[in-house]
Amino acid sequence: MTPQESNSFNPDILCGDFINRHNILSTQLVRRELTAIYWTTRTKLEIDNDLNNHVDELDHLDPLWGLLRSMLDRTFEYVEGAIVAYVTGSTASAEIISRTAIESAINLLFVLVDDRKGNHLTQYFAYYFEHEQTEIDGWTKATFNLTGDAKKAHQLATTEKRNRINELREATDFSLSQAGLPTIKSLVKKWPKIWERFKFLGLEVDYGTVYAALCSQTHSDAEDLLNYFFAATSDNQRLLDEIAVNTVNFSRFMLYFAVKYYVVVAGGYAIRFELTKALEALKIGKNVISQTLEEIAKEL
C-alpha cells in the first residue's frame, strides 16, 4: 500500500481498495464490516503518510523507527487476514488470526514502552534464538532412533540450521551494538511470558477474558464441541440456533478486538515517534471501534 499525502480517506475508496487487494466480492457480510475494514486501512495510511514527512528526521533521532514499523505492519497484515477470513465465512480461522494479531500488538507495545535503551527489543530477539535452539535440540534428540541415510540427512540438517542460527545471532548482536543497544550476550532479564507482558501494560483483564478465550480456540479445546453435543442431544432447536448465532458473534467480537489492538499499537508507535497528525486520527478510530465492540457485546 503506497502512502498518499493527498488521500482523503474516503470510506468507499479505502474499502474498495481492500476488496480489490484481497480479490473478494462485495457481499452483504463484507459491507456489514466496513467499520473494521475502514479503520484498519486508514490506520495503516495515517502512519505511512505521517512517517513520510519525518523519515530524514527519524533516521537521525531514532533509527529504530524502520524496524518497529515492520513489526507494526506485521500486525496490520494479521488483522487484515482476520477480516478476510471472517467476511468469507471462515469464522473459526478469523478467531485464530485475531489471537495472533493481538499477541503481535502486545509484543510491539511492550517494545515501544521501553526507555529507548532497547532492552525489550533485545529480549524479543533473544527469546527467538533461545526458542530456536530448543527446537533444534528436540529435533536432534528425535533423530536418535533413526538409522541409515535418514539419520544422516536429519543430523546434517540440524547441524546446518544450528550454524545458521548461531551466525544470525552473532550478526544481530553486532547490529545491536552498532546501534548502541544492549546485545543478547549482555542481557540480564529474559523476554517475559505473555501474561507478564499484558500485566506490565496494565491489560490483565484483556488477558483473562479475550486473550484466554482465543487461546482456547487456538488450541482447539473441547468447549465448542461440548456446547454443540449437549444442545444436539437435548433436541432443542432453539438452543442450537442460539449457539450458532453466539458463535458467529463471538468471532466478530474477537475480530473487532484485534482491530482495536492494531489501532492502539499504531497509536503507541505514533507517540514514540511523535507522529501527532496520525495520532489525532487514531484516537477517533479507537473510539469508533470501542463503540462497535460495546454493540456486539450486547448481542453475546
Determine the pLDDT at residue 218.
65
Determine the pLDDT at residue 219.
64
The rounded average pLDDT for each run of 10 residues, N- to C-terminus, in the chain (300 residues) is 58 94 95 96 96 88 91 98 96 93 97 85 96 96 92 96 97 92 92 95 91 75 65 67 71 95 98 95 97 90
How many angstroms separate the first and last alpha carbons of the chain?
Answer: 35
Determine the pLDDT at residue 3.
47
Angle between helices 148-178 and 119-142 (to 10 degrees): 170
Determine the pLDDT at residue 210.
86
How far apart are the C-alpha atoms of 34 and 86, rounded to whole Å?
Answer: 12
Provide the grid cell at 215: 487461546
Torsion sign over Cα 261, 264, 266, 268? negative
Report the amino acid identity of residue 189.
Answer: K
Determine the pLDDT at residue 214.
79
How far apart are the C-alpha atoms of 209 and 207, rounded to whole Å?
Answer: 6
Determine the pLDDT at residue 6.
42
Burial of 98 (0-12, 13-18, 19+ CB in 10 A): buried
How far apart are the C-alpha atoms of 114 and 110, rounded to whole Å?
Answer: 7
Determine the pLDDT at residue 83.
98
Scanning the structure block, which residue is given the C-alpha cell 524502520? Answer: 66
Determine the pLDDT at residue 211.
85
| Beta-carbon-side half-sphere exposure of residue 284 (alpha carbons within 13 Å) | 10
